[in-house]
Structure 1
Amino acid sequence: MPTQILMPALSPTMEEGTLAKWLVKEGDTVSSGDLLAEIETDKATMEFEAVDEGVIGKILVPEGTEGVKVNDPIAVLLEEGESADDIGAAESKAPEGDASSHTEPADAPEDLKAAEGYGRDGGDAQEEKPKDDGASGAESAPRTEDGERIFASPLARRIAKDKGLDLSQVKGSGPRGRIVKADVEGAEPGKAEAPKAAQAPKAAAQDKPAEKAPAPAGASADAVMKMYEDRETEEVKLDGMRRTIAARLTEAKQTVPHFYLRRDIKLDALMKFRAQLNKQLESRGTKLSVNDFIIKACALALQQVPDANAVWAGDRILKIKPSDVAVAVAIEGGLFTPVLRDADSRSLSSLSSQMKDLAKRARDKKLAPHEYQGGSFAISNLGMFGIDNFDAVINPPHGAILAVGAGVKKPVVDEDGAVGVATVMSVTLSVDHRVIDGALGAQLLAAIVENLENPMVMLA
């Protein structure tokens, strides 16, 4: 039966495109990999390649047509032995038709269906009908022993049947592992290589949500690995921590509406005050760091601007009474964010002692869950690595995170207009706009700056 050529999704966000130019005409013979058309996506103009071989029987969408929906038929491909008389059964109605008019290609991958809306409901809306169904005359789709669908072109299936090949033992070289003619022509029964798709964990398919994801997924692992197959690489398997970090931060950037507020903070008064305190605390074996002051300054600021001491709770904002401040701690292979509870009411020496303990146990991976869960606010300090400034990603459900850069000597102009030199630290407050609006975030950052530039106030 003639095969429909469908409008492809050439970018993750593409829903429709313009068929800018056909590179073939009706009657042309094409092979897998031949260029068929130029298509304008939402990102660029890209070339569209053939997957199967055959003859272009009919062009359904003329070049220059705009707004062609992804998965709408754009042409019909005739296979060996087929003629233009066979086209009628393969043609579909206009793009604006309902779901039933969007015939699904027999070999469309399951993951592509979910991503691109096949059948408009994400399901297998138009499964191939068995041969005795007079509507199509197509053979039923081959499946593995476990019932998983095998994606192969109609011509590849026919050749495999004639040769007695088990398609579940054939490695597909087409897009997303699809089996094409070249894969079965040289294969012998019982000697074919198992497909990559069969090696993938079944759980991955079972865990896919039925609904459309809130944001497009990246390229598959196989696609990325194929891109670099001619380069020397080292594959690093993800451990549980790396998977969690990847999942949470991807969620954060996709679902949390970040905005950023930046300020410079003069540290000279704090550095002088810190030196005095450390001299007095030397007999106790306590040494305060600049980070200890930053934690205290943020904790007090959350009390001074209580509306900003809040988290996003799905369908509401949850305001927190105490100041529970999380601090990012880098460890081998990832990071932890242990939480200093009631940081607003704790002394600097107490905060310093607990932070050292939490950081040590974080690096040894000995923190209990309650020690790194919770909090409404976080601090990420890369100043010790010489970073001047950066933007941190919010750790949900926190309302904000402060990115802290290094303190460096800079020329400054004082209130009298005189130019001098001061130690200046750049900070960036990343804010969840669902929880904290711009003016409120500015008040919170101003309170943090005030506390750090007047450190003695934090002891009052």
Structure 2
Amino acid sequence: MPTEILMPALSPTMEEGTLAKWLVKEGDTVSSGDLLAEIETDKATMEFEAVDEGTVGKLLIEEGTEGVKVNTPIAVLLEEGESADDIDTSSGSAAPEPAPAEAGSSESDKVTPAATPDAKPDTPAPAAPKGADGSRIFASPLARRIAAEKGLDLGSVKGSGPHGRIVKADVEGASAAPAAKSEAKADAPAQAATATAAPAGMSSDAVAKMYEDRETEEVKLDGMRKTIAARLTEAKQTIPHFYLRREIQLDALLKFRGELNAQLADKGVKLSVNDFIIKASALALQAVPDANAVWAGDRIIKLKPSDVAVAVAIEGGLFTPVLKDAHQKSLSTLSAEMKDLATRARDRKLAPHEYQGGSFAVSNLGMFGIDNFDAVINPPHGSILAVGAGVKKPVVGKDGELTSATVMSVTLSVDHRVIDGALGAEFLKAIAENLESPLMMLA
């Protein structure tokens, strides 16, 4: 029986993607593990492998097509002995063998819609339905049409045809009441959500009209930009942010960093201030374990390891690669791993597991001369640390004398559903103490 190849979910959050390029053509023979296509997600271009063997019977989606939903059929794979004639062109999927009369299919099930009094000649059969687990439900075109007219859920119908195929006789006597109830229940939350939806902004046409007398250039949104827009809008609308700010003196850290870099020069290692911030944050998550948590809708999930995400700016957007088990790694290991992740992020070569996860993130704009800013939490993280530049400032010393120090301003953005004010303050204090006494991080 011909097999549908579906648009894969290449990451847990992927909902749609771009079929960038086909690596096979119709008629090609493929085996499990062979490359079929290149798929662009919001973050990267990834190769998609075959899981079955067979012959490519039909490519259903043209390469370059954007916005292909996950689980949409993109091609049909034929088994040995099958041909392209076995493909149901009305639905773009493989068609099962017609049911013989002795198997429980009535002769009228084979009649064309035009010859059936109750059928609507101009109404095509609905697309092949899917079960709750995403598997295809096999039904004849006429059975699908009758089920659609009756509002019948084919998932609740037992087929009497070959291989359990649903035929006309199976749906004619079935009741649509259960499906109607489930639809009513499903519609209720949707209607409630619609009633309470946040007001939308100006339409694209309305904005464009405001500037129609000015010279402009339209920039098409790619998958990454669309995802950033959606996730950050969600973050600011649904996450109750609050902000904790403080200044951290860096003089001891800068002196210690200089000494370490001098000793590591022969090994080609050069530690950055950001490497120390990552390490300080990882250790603080261990010292204040209740802050090492994420929001999961109806619960809070606390992590045992310190998995620290770090924002990396790339052309057209940003990645947040995750340094896993950062509390257990040396500064030189963190530095090397961060450089590798940042390089591959800029080349869009990161795998999904390398930029998903973590409970906390660091966003550092100090290298751009930014003194301070507020970062937006990346769901489902519980917090994010915004790091500004280290600046020489006059300060009052321990003995009350006026002196100068290199001071860095930081802001911890916190999800109040996960972390309360006192807990957030304790967490930020732990980060500051690690940075102001860097030798403690090596103890």
TM-score by length of 1: 0.54
In the alignment, structure 1 residue 381 sits paired with structure 2 residue 364: yes
1:227 is the counterpart of 2:210:
yes
| 1:205-231 residue CA offsets vs partner (Å, 9 max, x unmatched) | xxxx65325422111111111111111
Cross-structure match for 2:223: 240
Offset at residue 342 of structure 1 (A): 0.2
User: Per the alignment, in what secondary structure is the counterpart of residue 385 of structure 2?
Assistant: strand
Q: 1:348 aligns with which of 325, 328, 331?
A: 331
DSSP-derived class of the 2:400 partner: coil
1:324 counterpart = 2:304: no
How much is the aligned-residue C-alpha RMSD, in angstroms? 1.4
Question: Between the two proteins, what is the percent identity of the paired residues?
Answer: 80
Q: Which amino acid aligns with 1:345?
A: Q
Structure 2 residue aligned with 1:280: 263
Equivalence for 1:315: 298
SS in 2 for 1:233: coil
1 CA distance for matches of 2:330 and 2:234? 35
Residue 339 (structure 1) aligned with residue 327 (structure 2) = no
Moved over 2 A (4+): none
Match of 1:257 in 2: 240
2:89 corresponds to which residue? none
What is the distance in 1 between the residues matched to 2:298 and 2:416? Answer: 14
**Partner secondary structure for residue 218 of structure 1:** coil
**How far apart, CA to CA, are the structure 1 residues paired with 2:434 and 2:230?**
35
SS of the equivalent of 1:323 reads: coil
CA distance in 2, matches of 1:219, 1:299: 42
The 3-state SS of whatever aligns with 1:216 is coil
Q: Which residue of 1 aligns with 2:276?
A: 293
Q: CA deviation at 1:415?
A: 1.5
Corresponding residue for residue 454 of structure 1: 437
- The aligned residue for residue 269 of structure 1 is 252
Question: What residue in structure 1 maps to residue 289 of structure 2?
Answer: 306
Structure 2 distance, partners of 1:214, 1:340, is 36
Match of 1:162 in 2: none
Q: Work out the CA distance in 1 between the residues paired with 2:340 and 2:389.
A: 23
- The amino acid across from 1:249 in the alignment is L
Question: In structure 2, what residue type is equivalent to 1:235?
Answer: E
Q: Distance in 1 between matches of 2:197 and 2:433?
A: 40
SS in 1 for 2:376: coil
Alignment of 1:36-435 (within 5 A): 210=191, 211-212=193-194, 214-435=197-418
2:54 corresponds to which residue? none
Post-superposition offset of 1:283: 1.1
Distance in 1, matches of 2:429 and 2:384, equals: 14
Question: SS where residue 441 of structure 1 aligns?
Answer: helix
Alignment partner of 2:341: what SS?
Answer: helix
Amino acid at match of 2:288: V
- Worse overlay, 447-456 or 229-238: 229-238
* CA deviation profile, 1:241-281 (whole Å, cap 9, x unmatched): 00000000000000000000001000000000000101111
Tell me whether 1:439 sits opposite 2:419 in the alignment.
no
Which residue is 1:128 aligned to?
Answer: none
Q: Identify unmatched segments of 5+ residues in structure 1.
A: 1-145, 147-208
Counterpart Cα distance in 2 of 1:412 and 1:217: 47
Aligned amino acid, residue 356 of structure 2: Q
SS, match of residue 391 in structure 2:
strand
Aligned-partner Cα distance in 2 for 1:261–1:334: 26
Structure 2 regions of 5+ residues with no counterpart? Answer: 1-122, 124-189
Which amino acid counterpart does residue 325 of structure 2 have in structure 1? Answer: D
Q: Which deviates further from its counterpart, 216-225 or 433-442? A: 216-225
Alignment partner of 1:229: what SS? coil
One-letter amino acid of the counterpart of residue 290, structure 1 = V
Q: Distance in 2 between matches of 1:358 and 1:247?
A: 24
- For 2:264 and 2:200, the matched residues in 1 are separated by 53
Amino acid of the residue matched to residue 447 of structure 1? A
The residue identity in structure 1 corresponding to 2:435 is L
Q: Cα deviations across residues 131-174 of structure 1 (Å, max 9, x unaligned)?
A: xxxxxxxxxxxxxxx9xxxxxxxxxxxxxxxxxxxxxxxxxxxx
Secondary structure in 1 matching 2:254: helix
| TM-score w.r.t. length of structure 2 | 0.56
How much does 1:232 deviate? 1.3
Q: Deviations over 1:287-318 (max 9, x none)?
A: 00000000000000000000000000001100
